[in-house]
Structure formats: C-alpha cells, structure tokens
Structure 1
Amino acid sequence: MSPHAGQSAVSFVVDVLLRGRWAWLLLGIVLAAIAYPTSKQMKFDRSVERMFAADDPVLAPYERLKAQFGGNEVVLAVYPDPDLLNPDGQGLKRLGEVSNRLKAVDGVKDVLSLAEVNALLEKLTAAQNLGGIFNFGSKKPKWSGPALLNPDSKLAKNYLTLFEGYTHGPDQQTAALACMLEPAPPGEVLDARRRDQTIASLRAIVENLPAGLTGGVLAGEPVMVVEGFQLLEQDGKRLGQWSTMMLGVTIIICFFSLRWLVAPIAVVQWSLLVTQAILVWSQLQLTMVSSMLSAIVTVVGVATVVHLIVRCRELETSGLDRYTAFRQAMILLAIPIVGAIATDVGGFGSLWWASVGPVQDFGTMMVIGSILVIPAVALLVPAIALVQFPSWSIKDAAPPHQSRLDSWLHHMLTGMLRELRRRQISAAIVISVVGLVIALGAVRLDVETDFTRNFRSGSRVVMWYEFVETRLGGAGVWDVIIPAPPELDEPYLARVRKLEERLRAIEVPGTHGAPAEPGLTKVLSLVDVMDAAKDSQLLAILAPESRAEMLSANLPVFAAALRYQPEDKNLPGRMRIMLRAHERQPAQQKRALIEEVRRVTLEEFPPNANQRSTERAEVTGFFVLLTSLIESMLRDQWTTFALASGAIAAMLLVLFRSIKLMLIGLVPNALPIFLVMGLLGWLGLRINMGAAMIAAVSMGLSVDSSIHYLDAFLRARQRGLSVADALAEVQSSVGRAMLFSTLALIIGFSVLCTSEFVPTVYFGALVSLAMLGGLLGNLVVLPLLLGWFVRDEKIAETGGYGSTAPLGSTNAAGE
C-alpha cells in the first residue's frame, strides 16, 4: 500500500472516531462497566514452586517432598517464657493452652511443641512403669510433675536435648510451636484467602497469649510469602492512587488543562480495568513476578497520551482551532502510536520464551495491557480532548508561567543539541568511556537469596526472623530425603546416624573473621527420635520397626512427616532428615552449604542401577527453593533481552524500512539497560525479584520515544529541512513530550519507593532509572547518531532518506 493510501486510511479512521466520539465514549464506558465486576476477582497465585521452570532440577524433589510427606509448610510460633521449664509445670500448662488454640485454627494440620512431647513421655512412662513393676524396690518417691521435667529421667533429658532448637531454645526460656499447615489438594491452587486467614489467626493467638506472657512472633516461609503478597497488593493499590494523583499534579503544572488532566488518567484506568477482566476470564493469576502490571500499563498509556498532548498543543499554538488541531495530531501520530505499542508488544512478548511459567504469564499480561492502550485512546480521548468544560474550570489558554516553561524548555533542549553537535567527537568519547566503565559493573552482580531481605530492616517480618534466629539458632528449614527399606533394621539406622554425624560436622566461615561454625544448626530424623527413647525400658526391648510404629501411634502427624511408606508395604519407602540453617547468610555461602550437604548425602546414600530417579537421595525444601528462586528468574533474562531486542529491531525495520535507522533506534534504548545493571553491580546491590526482568521490560518501554523522534525527524526532512534544522525542531517538540511523560511517570513511581516490600522499591527505582536513561539516550545519543549517519541529501517526495519514509507519510500530510 502506498504512503498516500496509508495516510488516507488513517484520516478516514480518525474522522470516524471524531464524528462519533460521544458514541465511542459511551461504548468505552459500557465496556468498563462490564469489565469492572470481573476485574475485582483478580487473584494472586502464591505457590513458590510455580516460579520455577517445569524441568528445573530443584523443583521435582520439592514436589515429591510435598506429595510423600504431607506438605512442607511449617509456621513457627515463638514466644519468651522464663518459666517454660519450671518444675511446677505452669510453663508447660500455658504452652498446652497455646498449642490447643493453634490446633483449632482452620488450615492447621497439627502442632508440635514441648506439650506434645510431654504427652508422649507421659504415655511412655506410664507404659514403662506397668503399675510400678519396673520401679520395684525403688526408694525414690514417684515424680508427680510433668514427665518431661522429671530431673531423674534420662528419657526426659534425651528428648529435651533432641528437640532443642525446634520446640524450645537453648536458653530454655523460649517456647516454639511448629504449626504444620494443610497443603493444597493435589492438582489444585492454594486458596490464598484461606491461607491469609490462617496466618492472621495464628498471629492473633501469638500476640495475645495467656496471662503472664508477653506477645510472641511468627516465622517461616509461609509467613514471608503471605506478608510479601499482602504488601504487593497494597503497593498495587497505592501505585494506582498516588501515581494518579501525582500524574494529575504534574500535568496540571505542565499543561494547565483539565481535559489533558483527564485524558491520560482515563486511558490508564480503562486499560487496567479491561486488562484485569480479560486476565480473569482467561484464568490467569498475578504472581510476585507480575504484580507490577499496573506500573507497565501506566508507562505505556501516559507516554502515548503525552505525545498526543504536546503535538496537539503545538498545532493549536500555530493558529488551528481545537478540533482541527486534534484531528491533525491524531493523523500525524496514529501510526507512530500503533508502531510504538507494537514494539512494546514485541519486547514484552519475548518473555514467552522464558522457561518460568509466571514470567511467560507476565509477558502475556503486558502484551494485553499494552494493546488495550490503543482502543482506550480511540474510544476515550477524542471526546475528552474536544469537550467544552464549564467556565469555572481550568482554562486551556496557556498562562504566563506555562508559556515561560515552554520557552525555557525549547531553549534548553535546542541549546543542548547545539552543544552536542559542536562537541560531538568529545561527547561521543565521554559517553562511550563512561558507559563502558559503568556497564562493566554488571560482572559484579550477585543475587539476593535471603528472602527476609525482601522486607525493610524495621518491618515486623525481619524482626520476627531475627528473634527466631537469635533464640532458636536458624530459621531456614530444609530437608534431606533418603531411601528407606520397607522395614527398619539396625544396619539401616547406623547408616542414617553416620550421615547425620557428617552433616552436623559441616562448617561455614564465621562472620567478621570469627572461627568456623556449624553450617547446620539442627539435624533431626525419626532415627534420632527412636534413639532418644533408648532409655525407655519398654522401647529398648522392641525391634527398630516396632519402636517406629509405637512412636507413630503417639505422634502420627509428626512421624508421617519424617517417614514415607507406600501403600504396598513390600516396596521401599523414604526417610526425611529435617535440617535447620541460618536464613540470613550470603548467597555464595548458602549455595556452598547446599552443595556440601548434597555431596555428603550422595556419598553415604549413593544411587544404584536398580533405583529409579524418584527413589534416590535428594536435598530439597523451602531453603533450597528460595536460594534458587532469583537465579531461576534470572536464568532467561539475557535470552529474553536478546529476543526483545530482535523483536524491536524487526518492528523498527518494518516501520522505517531502513537497516540504518533500525540500528540507530536500538542503540539509545539498549544502552540504558547495561548502564542500570552495571550501576547495580558497582553499588553492590543484589538482584532481587524487582530487578529480575528489568532488561526486557525496560527495552520495551523506552523504545516508544525513539519511534516518535525518528518519525518526526523524517517528516521534518521530507518538508525540506536540513538535518541540523530537523533535529532542532524534533528536539524541541518530541523532546518536550519525552520530558513531560518521563517526569510524570518518575514522580508517579516515586510512591513505590515508600513500600515495605524491597522488590517493589527496586522495581520503582529501576524503572525510573531506565526511563531516565532512555530519555537521555533519546535526547543525547539518538540526535548524535542521526547527525553522523544521515546526510543532507534531497528527500524524495514519496519517500524519506534512502528508502525510508515517515510512518504513514505523504507530501505535506497534515500540514
């Protein structure tokens, strides 16, 4: 299709939208009304395992752990009690009350505490005594207090030592209750609202303990996940409210116009509303990855409308009436707007090639949200832009301060361009050297594996974890899973004991030059529980399998969490060794510890040819998953960035039909990505979820302004302007639009920096930096490249430089 035909088609569509603008506005309102109830049903998928690719080696063992051992989600309820082990038993009595209240909470499968351990010992003691037969001739009076507190009972001492770090602290004044949560039914997604209510109920109980006790804390990965998602939901609402407010203030200051205040806000909110409704209808759910969807749609919507505002105001200033000016602006910018959003779609669509499901879903969500900006503009903006507001509203006539602002920006932008062209060689050298030095910082990047660092240092989650790490000696929970025979025997128990001894001997470097310390703060298995009962005269005479069965009968849920037996008792089962480690330690040290545990485990329980892969020894658990979480998300970052660059390059080639302009358009948008990542490395900031996909996302966002700049430059050249004059004109007009949109967005995103959830802070700051870098790239690097590689040859009337042409151009189109 010829440029003339393309321009005619654009003019026809614009005229249809303008003539029927009130009908289109009504249609937009009706669609929003239909979408509104559905959009409120948007849900979060909170399963951590979905953050991994289906073939990720750390995922399958975790899935087997959940399936075979009845779930793996444990919440620790911890509180101080100076009288916990007082011989009068009052501490244990209060502990029993708390335990019973926690067991009654919906969503709690069982609770393990010293109260349950004491109940087990009471049964063992009663069975052991057999009416006093084993105490025949004893001169000591019978102990009348709790069996666990009997000073003469070796069994009691064994169990107190065994469960230290799980049910109580080494100081014997810290009580801990392990609340085992009910997992989601097989094949179903966890009910987020029910889980929220479970955690809230547990927190209420721990913060309102029986008389005489101070409030306690909750810890555990389920608590962090719930807290993280609640903060993300709050951040999403805060972003919607405050960014709208700050955007409004910025637009009023910059444009002093009520219609241009309403237009971008309406476009963003409509796009978000319909996007969320489509996601609900498509049964897609938000995750930690996609929680900032509203931020992306805001960027695309605001940038689109601000370019339209600036061009419309320029045409009005030249003497055109409002209707004609808006019509011409729509005709001029229709194809650049569609082209810019098409490049956004290409950039965001690159995430479909990621191996992690939620990252793929996020790509889909951003593609939908970006595309919907086009109908939002078409349906809403014509009526809003041409409406006559009452006389008491803000006038559209530019006030003195606004005219001065326009004049100052014009002189500032064109002056900067003149200086760049005067010193283009030195500017290029400075940009190249500084850019290279900053970009090299990317080699220093490391990932954040401590999930608690996703929360601010003063937040309650961090304080809770610090309390648990200090009082119990490590809040990181993970597991070793080993094969087990159908019936336990002494040789097998000896193998497990040897493995546990080696695990306890693993050391990690001490902090601040201190001596090496144990890498695992606790190692516990069913074998340890059985060994602790060796001083029971009754259990001592039983075979290992009989001892295990008796313990299972008294602590069924806890025993089932430590040993898996298939329905066919002749088949081999699996044994679970529960590990504890410090959550707050460097990423490299965590990875080294996990690898060492895996190495030791496979040496003691090496795989053999007769075992299926699902029956071999494995190291897994939340600690392992969270250590690998960011690495899993980062694994495809540079692949998706390359694909995004390729997709955007292809769109630029289609739009401008020039390899030269394609490459010129890519450089100023790729450069900020490397600078942002390099800056993170030099500052020693670790990559968390907020930064995991910033490369592909930022590439898709920043290219919009380049398209508008290149299109305006080609139009100016087509009118016969020299390269220098065309750059000066575009630098002033499109440059102002870039400045206004970037300013509005950065101010709007500044609210994210107040979040309690650190990835949200990272995301807001990095997107703002990327947009600022894209602004500088398009105002500094892009004009330099155009000045170097575009010559002052005559532009053909039906074409542009060489084989290029402005998007949808004709001779004097829209002039």
Structure 2
Amino acid sequence: MKDAGSPPQKQKLRRRSFWFSFGIERLGLISLKAPLLSALLIAAMSIAAVPGMLSMSVDDSLSELFRTDTEEFRRYEQVSRRFPSSEFDVLVVIESEDLLTPDNLTAIRNTILDLQLIPGLNGLISMFSVREAPDETGLAKALFPARLPEGKAFEALMKRVRGNEIIRGKLLSEDGTLTLVVLSLNKQKVIDIGLKETIGEIEKVAKAALAQTSLHVQLAGAPVMQLEIRNAVKRDRIVYNGLGFGLGALIALVFFGSFRHMLIAVAGPAAAVLWSLGAIGFLGFKLNLFVNVITPLIIVNGFSDSMHLVYNVRRELMAGSGRLEAARTAVINVAPACFLTALTAALALASFIFAESALIRTFGAASTFAVLLSYVAVVVVVPTLAVLLLPEERQIRKPGEGGDAAMGMLSRLSVSLFQHLGRNPVVYVAGGIILTALMGVAYLNLEPHYRLADQVPDQEQALAATSRLDKKLTGANPIHVMIEWKDGRSLYSPEVLAAITDVHKAVEKQAGLGNVWSLETLRRWLGKAGDPSVETLKKYIGLLPEHLVRRFIAVDEKAVIVSGRLPDVDASEILPIVDQLDETLDPLRRKYPAFQFSVTGLPAIAARNSAKMIWELNIGLVSDIIVVIIFLGLAFRSVFASIVSILPSTLPIFATGALLWMTGDGLHFASIIALTVAFGLALDSTIHFLNRFDIEERDENGKVRPIQEALARTARMIGPVLILTTIVLALGLGVTIFSDLPSLRVFGQLSGATLFAALVAQLIILPSTIALLRRYWKPPQE
C-alpha cells in the first residue's frame, strides 16, 4: 500500500450507473465530444437565463406562509376583502416623555396636516380626529380646539383627552407618553405610485416635521413590514451571491493552489445559479423569505459537485493523464455520485411540495427543480472548461509539490485517521449509537414555535415600533370577530345591535386582548351624551369618512367586525386566547342562531395552524431520512450501503435538534427547512464516500482488498475534498446569518451546525461503521 505522499495513480474506469439515473449522469461525456461547441452553448444558455433571473418579483405577503385550502383561511381572506383597512394601515408611532405639552401637541397636529397631503392616502385617524359628545342640538365639537388653551384650561382639556372613550388606550397610551396615528392607504393609488415611494414620503414628512422637537417617530403596520421584507430579500440576494462565491473561490484557490482550477470550480456553480434562477423566473416563481434560500443552496450544492470533479481531474493530470482523458475519467467516476446526491437532495426538498403552506410548497417546487438543474449545469460546465483551460502536466507530481501542500496535508491526515478508525471501530460506532440515541430523545422533546416577528427584519423600524405598541397600547396585531347574518335584518335592527354589543363585551373581557373597536364603540360614545338612539347612530355613521366606516361595517351592511389587539408573542401563547374567545362565543351562537360568529385574523390563523404545520414538516423530515436511506440501498444495489448510512444520516439532525433543545429555541419553520436542506446536502459527502469506497474496495482484477487498504485508498481520494466541500457547504449556507430576517439567520446557523456535525459523522462514524461491519459482512467476490 502506497503512502499518502506517493504520486497519484491513474484511476481505474468503472462504467457503472446507479438505479434511477437513466443515463443522465453521462451528460458530461457528451460535452467532451465537442468542448468548444459545448462552451458556446453554455454561454448562450447563460445569456438567455439573465432576463428570467431579472424578472423575478418579491412576494412580501405576511399571510402566504399560512395560505391553505381550508375553510378557515378562506374566511380570513373574506374578512380581508370585506374589511381591508388593517391590511393597508401605516401606523405612525410618536413618543416622548413630555408628549402632552402645548408645543409638542401643536407639532403633532401640524405633522398630521402635512401627512394628509401625501398622495395615496384615503385618510387618517388620530386623537385630533375625535370629537366631543354631541350637545342638545346634535353638534359634536372637535375635542381639540383650533388654538390650544393655557393654564388650567389646558389641564382640563388633557383630563378630557386622557379619559375619552375613543382615545384612551387606543390612540393614546395610559401614561400619556405615546400616541398613534393611523394612515389608511388607498390600494390602487399605492400600486400606481409605488409602496416604496409612499412609505418613504410618509417617513420623510413625519421626521422632518418633528425634527426640532423631543418627539420620536417610527412607522409600523403591514405595508411597512412588507416593504422591509421586500428590501431585505433583495439585499440578501446580493449578499448571498457575493459572499457565497467569494468564500467558495477563496477556499478553492487556497487548497488547489491554482487560479485556473479555482476559476473552473467557481464557473460550475455560477452557471448553476444563473440557469436555475433564470428558469425559476421564467416559470413565474416569486422571491420570498424561503425561495431566497435557493441562491445559497444552489451555490453550495454546485460548489460541492464542482470541487469533487475538479479534484478528480486534477489528480488525473498529476498522474500523467491528458486533459481530455482526465476530464473523462472524472465524469465516469464522480458524475454518477454527483447525480445521486442531486436526486437525494431533490427527494428531501420535494417533500415540501406536499406541505399545507403555499409559501413552503412554492419553496419545495422551486428548490427541487433548481437542485436538479444545478447538477446539469455543473456536470457540463466543469469538464468542458477543464479541457479548454487547464494545461497539460509535464511530469507526474506528488501531493505537496507545486503549490499542493494543503491538499497533501489533508490527504495524509485523512489516511491516518481512517487507518486508526479501521483498527478501533467498535469504540467509535458504540459512541455514535449512544450519542445518536441521547440526542434523538432531545430532538423528540422539541416544542414548535412561531412569531410574526420571525418573518420581518428585526433591525428595521417596523418591529421596533410594534414593540412599543405592544408595551403601551396592548399590541398592534388584530384579532377579529366577524358577525354575519344572511336574512333580511337591517344593520340597525335591535337584534343585530344587541349581538354586536354582546360580542364587543366578550372581546373586552378576554384576557390578553385590548384596544377593542367596533360599532359599539360609537354607540357608547353617543350614549354618554344622552342620545343612544338608532337615528343618531345612523346620522353619525353617515358623517364618518368611508375608509373609517369600512373598518367595522361591510359595504352590504350584512357583516360587521369587532377587533381587538394583542402583542406579538409566540403562537403558543396566542392559541389559548383565541380558543377561550371562541368558547366564550358559544353561548352567543346559541342565543343568536341566525348569526355566524367567526374568530379570525392573521395571529389567530398562525396560532391555530403553526404548531400543526411545523410538526407535519418534522414528520416529513423523519420520513425523508427513512426513504433516502432505503433509496441509497436501491441505488447502490446494496443493503450494506443502506445500513452503514443510518448513523451518519441521523446523527447530524439529532445533534442540531439537541442544540435547539439546550438553547430552548424549539422548532421553527426555518429550523425544519434548515434541517431538511442540510440533511440533503450532508448526504452529498456520504454518497461520494460510499461511491469511492465501492470503487476502491476491489482492485483492477475485481479482487476484494483488505478493509484497511480500501479505507486508506478511499481516504486519499475522498478525505481532502470531503473536508473542503463541507466547509464550502457550511460557509455558503452560513452567509445567511448576515440576513436582516431572523428566520434566515436561524437557517444559516442551523445549516452550519448540521453540516459540521455531518462532517464529524462522515469522517469518524461512517468509516468506523464500514470497518466494523466488514468484519462480519464480507463483500461478494466478482
């Protein structure tokens, strides 16, 4: 057996295919028949893909994650259509310890006057919109006079303001340090003008008007969050592409020691990204917080295959092969494993296509397609460029010569490690089993978690302003109770008004909810003036702006909503509130059989469905692991391959799960997607290891080599590139930790942790398992 520093030998060619490959793994051989023509076709396809990539728009919907084909979600959409105000409200949050001073109130009122002039607004609501209760003549004077009084008169005014039914706890905090201005956007006008321009103008006007005061202003609300999501998604694409390629290129340059090898290693994934995103764009997919992960996913997947191919081409050149022969040998020996890794990754990702969530289904379909197309790009581009760009080697070189020190060092370390493991496999296999079992228990005890804040950039103003509303005004997230009736009753009939009153009281009494608004709010305000008559109610409804009326009364006057607000907390804390409110309405359902009462709103949808959806994805991941392990056995035509891959496949997933359990983070949507993606990528190295071991286990005559020799030869061929590809994978996905989106940062952290755990499993557990089982399970002689 030659040592790790011996000159590389030409690899034997084994024309072999895996099941399910259909000859696709041989695409690289076709490109080698006419490399120059292949290069021209690669350039043409890359140019054609650019318009598709540039055409991709951003899906910034906050509800898309929970879009399902269920009655509950359809009811939520119905509420959004019939009472669209909260979907298009910009919340201007103004704070100061001395908010209620004449100077600051004057500045706020002037700001509101300026905001009303901004194009794209239907109108706004603030404490300056509120009027006094009507007098005996029916006239309702403005609560704030045109000129603010001074002294005792001002103090009396502030007392009335802070005690006003409509203002207190709704538009002004109980301590008088925060006020809320609600801007209702006109959907069509905003589409024409642009959301970015509209929000930008609102922010510019508000901050300019209050610049010389002690008042602090921030914007919140769904439109602001959507804009911040859109900006973060676009910004992340640039960061992912730049850092992903930069890190991959740097690692390739350091370890290959050649600019040409680095260029070829980068060209494969670059073409993969361009072709995949171009195709996805032409197919009409939109960018969202999960689809945005596809870019680093393609980069790392493409880099992995590219590194394996370039490494094998390089070894063949060092062994004295010509460029064409070296590229051909690499394709024959490596491309089948690359195709199998693409299939297993696609299989893992395809499970998302069957998720309930429309957002996750979109990610599943787009990522599955992208991973398969990525393989095609790499297996065609790398051999083509290897033939066209690499020089012929003038003499056979040893590892460590000619700038090859890093690869030689990794090769020697790999051989030494595998030889040690081959002599002492029992300890490491037993340790792997015990660790996997213990960490598996921790994984099974993970609790699902979800917060709206997970979807929104946490370094921007929307969440900061929302947190202030959570603290001062009981929250900014609406829970609605929609009241419907289908008979001929009028909105102002006694039974309809009684039902609204009862529901309003139920929502007010529900712990965890506050800031309750409905038609009943106006009725109470009129009642305090001594005129609660239906005629007066109709009169004031008619005087209110249309955008304000549609907040709680449908156009056909056959439905109303009662809205409460709650803080942005974990869905597990919201669910009891929603369930208790729904139970509280049961007596009212019996009392008013002709009415339908529905508790809805995005927080309610999330609370009811997030835990279920996360566990379904978790079950899908476990199913993926089982299916892929069986799939490997079928592909390799070997039960042995299935069994030895069990520990290396499950240990990384359970290790990351144990990390989540220890930190108390639990399972999020991003956690499950990160684990599934990392599982598919971690299998990449397992498959390449098994493929190389299958080649090296027999000599040129088909005779079985001793296990120590087979492992040493496998280590020499696979060890360095296995380490490099795992580093590229981990760092490539790890760039998502720089995202402004919390869910993507979690994705990057967990992907990196899973992949490094997978590296340990593949360098230690996998060879140990092979060595141990080969003591009792001998391969058949050919």
- Same fold, judged at TM 0.5 (above): yes
Among 175, 181, 188, the alignment partner of 2:185 is 181
Alignment CA distance shift 1:54-1:675 (3 Å): same
Partner SS, residue 740 of structure 2:
coil
Report what 1:112 is aligned to: 125
Matching residue of 2:726: 742
Q: Which amino acid aligns with 1:655?
A: A
Task: Give CA-to-partner distance per residue, 1:313-350, whole Å, 9 cap, x none.
Answer: 33233333443222211221222222221222222222
Matches within 5 A, 1:198-237: 198-210=198-210, 212-213=212-213, 214-237=215-238
Counterpart in 2 of 1:128?
138
SS of 2:138's partner is helix
- Give the whole-Å Cα distance in 1 for the aligned partners of 2:754 and 2:309: 22
- Pick closer, same or farther for the CA change 1:153–1:604 going to 2, 3 Å: farther
CA distance in 2, matches of 1:444, 1:776: 24
Does 2:576 match 1:561? no
C-alpha distance in 1 between matches for 2:160 and 2:468: 27
Separation of aligned partners in 2, 1:712 and 1:520: 61
Stretch deviating more after TM superposition (218-227 or 525-534): 218-227
Q: Shift in Å at residue 743 of structure 1? A: 1.4
User: Quick check: 448-457 or 662-671, which moved more?
Assistant: 448-457
Q: Is the 8 A contact 1:113 1:167 kept in 2?
A: yes
1:712 aligns with 2:712: no
Between the aligned partners of 1:607 and 1:291, the Cα distance in structure 2 is 50
Partner of 1:28: 42
Q: How does 1:732-811 map to 2 (within 5 A)?
A: 732-790=716-774, 793=778, 795-797=780-782
* Deviation of the 1:224 alpha carbon: 2.9
Q: Deviations over 1:74-123 (max 9, x none)?
A: 2210113678656x7x76654444334434445443311123224xx59x
**Mapping of residues 140-539 of structure 1, within 5 Å:** 160-183=164-187, 194-210=194-210, 212-213=212-213, 214-388=215-389, 402-452=403-453, 459-483=460-484, 485-490=489-494, 492-507=496-511, 519-536=512-529
8 A contact 1:79–1:206 mirrored in 2: no
**Alignment CA distance shift 1:233-1:647 (3 Å):** farther
For residues 678-717 of structure 1, what are the structure 2 equivalents within 5 Å? 678-717=658-697
1:578 maps to 2:563: yes
Name the aligned partner's letter for residue 550 of structure 1.
Answer: Y
- Report the CA distance between 1:520 and its aligned residue: 2.0
| Aligned twin of 1:598 | 582
Structure 1 residues 269 and 628 mapped into 2: Cα distance closer, same or farther (>3 Å)?
farther
> Which has the higher mean CA deviation after the structures are superposed, 93-102 or 694-703?
93-102
Secondary structure of 2:252's aligned partner: helix
Q: Distance in 2 between matches of 1:582 and 1:718?
A: 65
Cα distance in structure 1, aligned partners of 2:337 and 2:96: 68
User: What secondary structure, in the 3-state scheme, does the structure 1 residue paired with 2:447 have?
Assistant: coil
CA gap of 1:62–1:12, structure 2 versus 1, over 3 A, is: closer
What is the rounded CA distance, in whole Å, between the counterparts of 2:188 and 2:259 in structure 1? 50
Deviations 1:285-336 (A, max 9, x none): 1222222111111121011011112222332333334432222112212222
2: CA distance, partners of 1:565 / 1:159: 32
8 A contact 2:422–2:768 mirrored in 1 = yes
- The answer as to 2:95 corresponding to 1:80 is yes
Q: State the Cα RMSD in Å.
A: 3.6
Residues 158 and 533, structure 1, Cα contact 8 Å, conserved in 2: no
Please say if residues 449 and 667 of structure 2, whose CA atoms lie closer than 8 Å, have aligned partners that are also in contact: yes
Deviation at 1:643, TM superposition (A): 4.5
DSSP-derived class of the 2:287 partner? coil
Contact 2:60 2:229 (C-alpha < 8 Å) held by counterparts:
no
- Which is worse superposed, 67-76 or 494-503? 494-503
2:537 corresponds to: 547
**Whole-Å separation in 1 of the counterparts to 2:560 and 2:744:** 40
**Corresponding residue SS for 1:477:** strand
How has the CA–CA distance of structure 1 residues 193 and 675 changed in structure 2, closer, same or farther, with 3 Å as cutoff? farther
For residues 390 and 208 of structure 1, the distance between their equivalents in structure 2, rounded to whole angstroms, comes to: 63
Letter in 2 for 1:410: S
Cα separation, 2, equivalents of 1:155 and 1:602: 39
Residue 691 and residue 548 in structure 1: after superposition, are their counterparts in 2 closer, same or farther (change >3 A)?
A: farther
Structure 2: distance between partners of 1:11 and 1:495: 68
Counterpart pick for 2:625 among 645, 655, 673: 645
| C-alpha distance in 1 between matches for 2:318 and 2:259 | 17
Quote the offset at 1:377 in angstroms. 2.3
> In the alignment, which of 77, 87, 101 is matched to residue 63 of structure 1?
77
Q: Distance in 2 between matches of 1:520 and 1:298?
A: 46
**SS in structure 2 at match of 1:175:** strand
SS in 2 for 1:218: strand
Instruction: Render the CA deviation track for 1:740-785: whole Å, top value 9, x for unaligned.
Output: 1111232334432233322121111111122222222222222223
Distance 1:32 1:770, change over 3 A: same
Contact in 2 for aligned 1:219/1:464 (Cα 8 Å):
yes
Q: 2-side partners of 1:53 and 1:731: how far apart?
A: 48
Shift of the 107–444 alpha-carbon distance from structure 1 to 2, 3 Å rule, reads farther
Change (3 A) 1:264 1:624: farther
Once residues 777 and 495 of structure 1 are traced to their aligned partners in structure 2, the CA distance between those partners, rounded to angstroms, is 63
**Paired residues of 2:232 and 2:741 also in contact (CA < 8 A):** yes
- Matched to 1:500, the amino acid is H
* SS in structure 2 of the partner of residue 691 of structure 1: helix
| Alignment CA distance shift 1:574-1:13 (3 Å) | closer
Distance 1:606 1:72, change over 3 A: farther
Letter aligned with residue 43 of structure 2:
I
Letter in 2 for 1:784: S
Structure 1, unaligned runs of 5 or more = 132-141, 508-518, 798-815
Q: 1:378 to 1:589 in 2, by over 3 A?
A: closer
8 Å CA contact 1:206–1:215 kept in 2: the answer is no
Letter in 1 for 2:196: D
Rate the CA distance shift 1:35–1:104 in 2: closer, same or farther, 3 A: farther
Deviation at 1:594, TM superposition (A): 2.0
Name 1:801's counterpart in structure 2: none
Deviation at 1:256, TM superposition (A): 0.8
Moved more, 471-480 or 298-307: 471-480
What secondary structure does 1:778 align onto?
A: helix
The 1:15–1:64 alpha-carbon spacing in structure 2 relative to 1, beyond 3 Å, is: closer
Task: Report the CA distance between 1:216 and its aligned residue.
Answer: 0.4
Instruction: Tell whether the 8 Å contact from 2:95 to 2:178 is kept in structure 1 after alignment.
Output: yes
Give the SS at the match of 2:479: strand
Pick closer, same or farther for the CA change 1:279–1:101 going to 2, 3 Å: farther
**Distance (Å, rounded) in 2 between the aligned partners of 1:144 and 1:462:** 34
Distance in 2 separating the partners of 1:273 and 1:193:
31
Contact kept, 8 Å, 1:722 with 1:792, in 2: the verdict is no
Distance 1:455 1:75 in 2: 15
SS of residue in 1 equivalent to 2:169: coil
Query: Could you say if the C-alpha distance between residues 549 and 56 of structure 1 is closer, same or farther in structure 2, counting changes exceeding 3 Å?
Result: farther
> Is this contact kept in 1: 2:585–2:597, CA < 8 A?
yes
Which residue identity lines up with residue 712 of structure 1 in the other structure? R
**Cα shift at 1:52:** 2.0
TM-score of the pair, normalised by structure 1: 0.83
Query: 1 CA distance for matches of 2:118 and 2:160?
Result: 29
- For 2:105 and 2:642, locate their aligned partners in 1 and report how far apart those are by CA, in whole Å: 73
Cα–Cα, structure 1 residues 103 and 650, in superposed 2: closer, same or farther, change >3 Å? farther
C-alpha change, 1:184 and 1:356, in structure 2 (3 Å) is: farther
